[in-house]
Structure formats: C-alpha cells, structure tokens
Structure 1
Amino acid sequence: MLAPRRFLPSISSLLALEAVDRLGSASAAADELSLTQSAVSRQLKAVEEQLGVALIQRDQMRLQLTPAGKEYVETARTALQQLAQASLKLKANPSGGSLQLSILPAFGMHWLAPRLQDFAQRHPEVTMNLSTRLKPFDFGTEPFDAAIHFGQRDWTGVNYLPIMREEVLPVCAPALLPAKTPKVEWLVDAPLLHLDTRPDAWERWFAAQGTPVEGVRGMLFDQFSTMIQATIHGLGVALLPSYLISAELEAGRLVPACAAPPVSLGDYYLVWPQSRTELTPLVSFRTWLQGQLT
C-alpha cells in the first residue's frame, strides 16, 4: 500500500528540488526544466509546505539545501531515476516486457552475445537491454533486473544460477617465449600483465603450480580485450580464459607460456536480487539460460 497522498509531493516539485540541488539556483533549474524562475520557486515552496520542513537555505548568491533537504533529495533522485527507467522499459516494449541485464564485457561479447539470437527467436515478447558493469553493485540503486557475476558466491542479497567455470592459462606472443623449453620458473621474472578486477590472479596461479610468489607487478588493464591485444603484440605474459583465446592459439598469435595445466580462478553466475518479485522476462531468460547449460 502506498503512503497517504499528503506524504507524496508532485513529480514537478521533486524535479524542481533535485535540479536546484544539482545546479545551485532557481534560474538554472528553470532553464533545464523549461519553466520560469517563479514557477520553480512555487514548486519549492509547495513541497516545503506539504512536508512542513524547511528544505532550502536562501541567500543572495545561491540556493542550498538544508541538511534535511540534502538527505531527502537523495532518496527523491533515486526514485525519479527508477521511474524514468520504468517508463523507458515500458516505451521500449509496451506489450511484452524488458530485461535490464548487467554483463561483463568479455563474457558478454564472446559467450552470451552469440547465443542471444536464439533467446530472441524463442521470446520475441522480451526486449533485452544490456549494459556493462565490471564489479558488483547495489541492485537497490542500479536499474538492473539481473547481472552476470564472476568469482565466488560473495555478492550478498542475490540468488545464483551457475553458468560455467572459467579456466585460465598463461600465454604470450611466440617471440617472447624462451629458447629453451619454458618452465613455470621463468614466469617469476617475466613481464606479467594484470586485470584490475583480479589483482591476485597471478599469485593464485603460481600457488596452484607449487611456486608461491608475492607482490607480483606489471602492466594493469581494465578489460580482457585490451590485454589480449597487448599480449599478442609482445608486451608481456597474460593469464587469459581459454574460451577467449582459442582462435589466437589456433592461429599461432599466442602460445602457452609453459606446460602447466589450466587453473580455475572462479565461476560465472547469473545473479538477481532476492528482495524483488521475479518478473516474467527474468524468469523466461533464466529458464532459457538453464537450457543452454545442458
């Protein structure tokens, strides 16, 4: 049940309050909202009178929100963003529904994207909207229904559907490979490339080989795609998922840096918030995804 009407200011008043907080003046807010300055002032006065709380500190140079107003406008801003996202979803697919999915760029491009045509054919009523996020986030403040997560089951407040285990192996350009048969030990002093979302990957890989090392350093990348190109061009040795580099290995652009077996550093999961009612598009996608894993 919604709160009583007296506790719900109009959207126009909330938009005016949010704009004044962000822009610092009624005139700037009026320009952005295509209103007159006096209209913005009336909206601010209306929300203060309705709530019975002073929200604005007025001086000759700038409008500022009171501490209570600052706290209130943060909640209002989130609600306005969520309402805008809901409107966009409805406009994009008024008859079926949409799924806002957060993806990891490499997994989304190489594993998920080639399979999505099948989902689109089976569920034409669902509009898929994909956006990239590299790290876990708060489902309460982000406009996503579900996300692709890599690592362990360490994202609190979500349900998990395991997708696949990732195996990584050290690879490099052929010219970087030692003349003698390469062993694990040569990598300790080799130029190593790192992914910033997996800062301990090399330490974990060395430990799995029985050669523990600490404080491994080297070039840092934020995405696998860039790191793969850097590896091909001889900038160092990278730990890369086998599913991403099969073509490069087959073509000889990359070679194994040693004869060590692949190592798993984590799994891919579909996650979705436990606190929300599961909408039909999410159920359809999850059921389809489970079918892809059999």
Structure 2
Amino acid sequence: MITKLKRLPPIHALSAFEAVARHGSFSSAAEELHLSQSAVSKQVRTLEEHTRSPVFLRHARGIELTSAGAALLQEIQPALAQLSSGIERIRQRQDANTVTVIATHAVSHYWLFPRVMAFNREHPEITVSIQSDNGMTPAVIEEYDFGILFGSGGWPGLDAQPLFAERVYPVCRPDLALPEHQTLQELKALPLIELDSSAWDCIDWVDWFAHFNEAYAPKPHGLKFNQVSLSYNAALEGLGVSLGWDFMVSQAVREGRLRRVGDFVYDSRKHDFLVHGIKEPLKRAAQTFKDWLS
C-alpha cells in the first residue's frame, strides 16, 4: 500500500534552500544553480510560505539558519542526495554505453575495480559505473544493470553467474617474526587481528577456527576492526595476522607484500555472483561486460 503524500513544496524551492544553506550565501547559490539571485530569493520565499516559518535570518553581515531552517536542512539534505543518486542511476541505466554495477566496498575495491580498468582498455566506448555499498540487498539489484552478491545463489528474479569462491586463510607481512610452521594451536597464540562482523554476514576468527573443529576465544584488548579492508591494511602495516579473503589478498601475496601463515584454508563453498534482473534483456553494453567477465 502506497502512503498518500501530503502537499510538498516545489523541488526547486527545496533545492534553492539547500544551496543557500550550504553556501551561506544567496549569490553563491544562484551561481551554482545558474539562476538570478532574485529567482533564488523567490524560491526560498515559496518554501517559507509552505513551512509557514522563516528559514533564514537576514542581517547586514549575511544570513543564518533559523531553528526551523536548521531542522529542515537536516531532513532534506539526505533526501535530495538520495533523489539525485536515484535519478542518476536511472539515467545511466538508460544510457546505451553505460553499465552500472553495485557491490560491497571490499569487492568493489579489490576485485571489481582492477577488472573494470582492464575492461575499459579493451572497450573504451563503454563506461562502467560502480556503486559501493555494504548494505546492498537483492532487492536493490533491479536499480542497476548488475550486482555482485555473496551466497549460494538462487535469488528469485535474478540471473546469477559465479565469479569467485570464498577462500579465507591467515596472512601477515613477510617481515613479521613468526614461527616457521604453525599448527592450529600455535596459530591461536599469534597476534591475531580481530574482525567484528556482528553487523554483517562475514566470518571472524571464531568461525574460522570452528571450521577446523577448534575452539577459539578472542584475546582481550587485541586489535579489532569492523571491516575486512581495515583488517587487511593492518596486516600490511605489520600489526599482526589477519584473516585474508583470497580475492583481496592473492595479488599482495604474489607480489610479496603479504605472506600466508600456515597451510589452512577455510573454503565455505559459497561464491560471489554476478547477478542481474531477468525481467528485461540486457542491453548490448551490459551483455558485453558480462561476457568479458565470464
């Protein structure tokens, strides 16, 4: 059921108000919006008529937000940003030579970005636009040409093509002084960089050791991060041993910036998949990108 919206002020009035508030100046806002200063002032007056409250205090030294204006700005800035992003995504999806992809931060940075650079060298006529969002869900995929989802596949309404398997193993900087050979018991005694994955679907050291039927309790006061990219960077800095996702760390291992610790590998038998909606056929540029990734 769609909730009926009450009468809203014109979008131009909201946009003018936001620009004036951000710049602290009617003239600067007018320059940004390519309008006259009087036109911007008129838009702000229209907004004040709708809110039945002044949104700016005007004085000799300039302007400042009223309490009502400050409250309104806090409400509309994220809404305008979301609206702008949504319109841009729709525009890009309709652009025959633009391909939009949404993925998590780690996948976007460590796996997708290098491949997009290589793809663009072969297909300079196609622009691949990446949206990085750790909060992505299958429900948002329809807004993009593609998404990259982690799991076992089988999402309703989505075509899913496996890209890479989840393989996780300990890594550290090569010059970190550690015993030459590590058993699971010895691994637990090393300076492990903890990962707090309570807010998202990701394994931590407790899960990793449990995969090998080994109990583990995090050390108190140890290093802990809530993102795999932060844990990865901590390992690069030599701060300890981190869980390393193969798609993130394999290149650093090959280049000698990291080394594997022990021979144990957690293979979850899950994958990251390239997914897209099946309601409409892929446009030519999107099909070219999908074929290239295959």
Using the size of structure 1 for normalisation, the TM-score is 0.64
Kindly state the Cα deviation for residue 32 of structure 1 after the two structures are TM-superposed. Answer: 1.4
> Residue 168 of structure 2 contacts residue 244 of structure 2 at CA under 8 Å; is this kept in 1?
yes
Partner of 1:191 in structure 2? 191
Structure 1 residue 238 displacement after superposition:
1.6
Cα root mean square deviation, aligned? 4.8
How far off is 1:47 after superposition? 5.9
Query: Equivalents in 2 of 1:268, 1:10: separation in Å?
Result: 43
Specify which of 49, 54, 59 is matched with residue 58 of structure 1.
54
Answer yes or no: is the 8 Å Cα contact 1:100–1:146 preserved in 2. Answer: yes
Distance in 2 of aligned mates of 1:144 and 1:228:
29
Against the structure 1 CA distance between its residues 160 and 38, is the aligned structure 2 distance closer, same or farther, given a 3 Å change threshold?
same
Contact 1:17 1:73 survives alignment (8 Å): no
Residue identity opposite 1:31 in structure 2: S
Q: Classify 1:12/1:291 alpha carbon distance in 2 versus 1 (closer, same or farther; 3 Å).
A: closer
SS at match of 1:176: coil
Q: Does 1:242 align with 2:243?
A: no
Matching of residue 262 in structure 1 with residue 258 in structure 2: no
The answer to whether the 8 Å contact 1:163/1:269 transfers is yes
Q: How far has the Cα of 1:287 moved from its partner?
A: 6.6
Alignment of 1:1-294 (within 5 A): 12-19=12-19, 22-23=21-22, 28-34=25-31, 38-46=38-46, 54-58=50-54, 61=57, 62-63=65-66, 64-65=68-69, 75=79, 78-83=82-87, 89=92, 96-104=96-104, 106-108=106-108, 111-116=111-116, 119-120=119-120, 125-136=125-136, 145-150=145-150, 159=158, 161=160, 162-172=162-172, 173=174, 175-178=176-179, 181-195=181-195, 200-215=203-218, 218-221=222-225, 227-228=231-232, 230-231=234-235, 234-246=238-250, 249=253, 254-264=258-268, 266-271=270-275, 280-281=282-283, 284-285=285-286, 288-289=289-290, 292-293=293-294
User: Is residue 151–residue 268 contact of structure 1 (8 Å, CA) maintained in 2?
Assistant: yes
Q: Deviations over 1:26-65 (max 9, x none)?
A: x73443123565433422444677xxxx324127734435
| C-alpha separation in 2, matches of 1:196 and 1:286 | 37
Task: Quote the Cα distance in structure 2 between the aligned partners of 1:60 and 1:44.
Answer: 9
Deviation at 1:131, TM superposition (A): 4.3
Letter of the 1:204 partner, please give it. Answer: D
Preserved CA contact (<8 Å) 2:145 2:286: no
Which residue type is aligned with residue 178 of structure 2?
L
Decide whether aligned partners of structure 1 residues 170 and 70 sit closer, same or farther in structure 2, where only a CA change above 3 A counts.
closer
Segments of structure 2 that go 5 or more residues without pairing to the other structure are 1-6, 58-64
Q: Secondary structure at the match of 2:263?
A: coil
Contact 1:201–1:265, Cα closer than 8 Å, also in 2: no
Deviation at 1:220, TM superposition (A): 3.8
SS of residue in 1 equivalent to 2:264:
coil
CA contact (8 A) 1:157 1:273 kept: no
- State the Cα deviation string for residues 210-229 of structure 1 (Å, max 9, x = none): 11224456334576666456
Match of 2:30, as an amino acid? L
Count of residue correspondences: 269
Shift of 1:122: 7.5
Q: CA deviation at 1:170?
A: 1.6
For 2:182 and 2:72, the matched residues in 1 are separated by 64
TM-score normalized by the length of structure 2? 0.64
Contact 2:166 2:271 in 1 (8 A): yes
Percent identity reads: 25
SS in 1 for 2:213: coil
For structure 1, the 5+ residue unaligned runs are: 1-6
The answer to whether the Cα contact below 8 Å between 1:147 and 1:271 also exists between their aligned partners in 2 is yes
Q: Give, in whole Å, the separation in 2 of the partners of 1:12 and 1:260.
A: 59
The residue type equivalent to 1:176 in the other structure is A
Residues 66, 165 of structure 1: CA spacing in aligned structure 2 closer, same or farther, 3 A cutoff?
same
Determine helix, strand or coil for the equivalent of 1:270. strand
Contact map agreement 2:195 2:225 (CA 8 A) in 1:
yes
1:67 and 1:59 map into 2 onto residues whose CA distance is 9
Once the two structures are superposed, residues 234-285 of structure 1 have per-residue CA deviations (whole angstroms, 9 ceiling, x without a partner) of 42112112344445555666444333343338531335579xx75845x743
